[in-house]
Amino acid sequence: MKALRRWGPAVAWAGLIYLFSSEVFSAQGTAKWIFPFLRWLFPAAGWPTIFFLHDLLRKAGHFIEFFILSLFLLRGVRGEQRGWTLRWALASIALAAAYAALDEFHQAFVPGRVASPGDVLIDTAGAAFAQLAAALLSRRRSEHS
């Protein structure tokens, strides 16, 4: 039961990322609702700007998804222990990067999706930034104790 409590959030979040890899969340799929929102938000923006913002939002989504996954992985990796260590952080980043690569491999077989090594880099950067944030937070907590 303890393992489920520790690893459950990471597994559930990985499942959500898997769902986001479906055709519904392809660039063409998300454009159906993001484009109208961006046109409403920026009525004077031309189509090149709308396309750029759409792509930027999608890449930010990758970063945020794996930022969160990395924090959940840290929770699983460290077990019942508290705090942050470089070993735990590197393990969390490695697991997130491996899942990012598997996710992109999966997308190569999904209609309307393509595998992108660049997305793996964005995902891994999100995971690394999460560990940096966790390290800073842990350091701050230890200084206040």
Among 30, 17, 44, residue whose Cα is nearest residue 106: 17
How is residue 45 written in tokens? 């923006």
Query: Looking at the predicted structure, is the pLDDT value of residue 24 above 90?
Result: no
How is residue 29 written in tokens? 């799929």
Output the pTM of the full model.
0.92
Domain coordinates of the chain in residue numbers? 2-144
Distances (CA, A) of 141 to 6, 64, 82, 100, 145: 21, 24, 11, 30, 6
Contact 63, 124 (CB under 8 A): no
Output the pLDDT for position 3: 82
How much of the chain is in helix, strand and coil states, percent to nearest 5?
A: 80, 0, 20
Give the span between the Cα atoms of 47 and 35, in whole angstroms: 9
pLDDT, one tens digit per residue, over 36-52 is 999 999 999 999 999 99
pLDDT, one tens digit per residue, over 54-76 is 999 999 999 999 999 999 999 99
Q: What's the mean pLDDT in 18-34?
A: 88
Identity at 13, one-letter amino acid code: W
Tell me the Cα Rg of the chain.
18
Q: How many CB atoms lie within 10 A of CB 18?
A: 13
Element of type H or E holding 87: helix 86-107
Q: What's the mean pLDDT in 82-99?
A: 97
> Token match 């999904």: residue?
110
Output the pLDDT for position 125: 98
How is residue 8 written in tokens? 């459950």
